[in-house]
Structure 1
């Protein structure tokens, strides 16, 4: 009799402990917000549109108004020919221009050996560059450490 009571006591204690710890385990396993630093011109409205797009897609964004974003492109290995109006930095990757949030997440999941992603110029219809119904085609480039690039994703391409 004594043995079955002590077994029940142990099981109750374990069950209560599991119930108390389960919220802590859920918090520990919850995905962390993706933190990105964005270096931009203080007068650029489309940069703010891109920052809003990132925040709407789960990123924590710290913006830094700078006179020259080229310094950050160079530091993170994005050649000037892929330049745009702002440069993001996340987990060691450079993110140049109006790169969709989904592509940044895809980059971080794959972790390729690369400098980062770029959307050269300011294509209408890219995140932060919305202009009515107009959506110009654009490519997101995977920029390699040697400055070469390949298409990572394509958007708004005409159907063939």
Structure 2
């Protein structure tokens, strides 16, 4: 009897430790993406995110006023804007950085990859011959500034 109780307790403790130590990625990976109806790299980025577990609602739009409404300064702009939970994602941000943002929950506006760096998700078309630009993923702070969140 004691042996069975001990085994049960050890099993329960192990399960509890596993659950507590496993980082919580997003409970909800639903994202809204505003994109130009004629932009191919935006489609590629959406496909990439869907392949990485995101559920995407696409709004075909010229995005007039969307960035401003969501708190993105023009210096951080790119070809598409997205919102996931309380965060804004601007440009070709890698899925792992978005998942990290959702897990860490910093007090910030969101993430941005300004411009359209070749080799970033959605900009990795074979037509570019394998070229890869170096770029930063920026964490956009609520005071309008940013810090480097990741580099590629």
* Alpha-carbon distance between aligned partners in 2 of 1:132 and 1:113, rounded to the nearest angstrom: 39
- Asked if residue 136 in structure 1 is aligned to residue 130 in structure 2, the reply is no
* Corresponding residue pairs, total: 124
* Aligned: 1:66 with 2:90: no
Q: Distance in 1 between matches of 2:93 and 2:64?
A: 17
User: Is residue 124 of structure 1 aligned with residue 115 of structure 2?
Assistant: no
TM-score (norm 2): 0.78
Residue 38, structure 1, aligned to residue 25, structure 2 = no
Give the corresponding residue for 1:99: 93
My pick for the range that moved more, 109-118 or 72-81, is: 72-81
Rounded Cα–Cα distance in structure 2 between residues aligned with 1:116 and 1:74: 13
Alignment gaps of 5+ in structure 2:
1-25
Q: Which runs of 4+ in 1 moved over 3 A?
A: none
Q: Secondary structure at the match of 1:42?
A: coil
Q: Output the TM-score relative to the length of structure 1.
A: 0.74
Quote how far apart the aligned CAs of 1:132 are. 2.9
Gaps of 5+ in 1: 1-30, 156-160
Aligned-pair CA distance for 1:70: 4.9
Aligned partners of 1:33 and 1:58 also within 8 Å: no
Flag the structure with larger Rg: 1
String of CA shifts for 1:64-106, please: whole Å, max 9, x gaps. 0112x25221122111110001001000111000000100000
- What is the aligned-residue RMSD (CA, Å)? 1.2
Structure 1 window deviating more from structure 2 (32-41 vs 113-122): it is 32-41
Aligned residue number for residue 76 of structure 2: 82
Name the CA distance, whole Å, in 2 between partners of 1:149 and 1:32.
26
* Aligned counterparts of 2:27 and 2:115: Cα–Cα separation in 1: 31
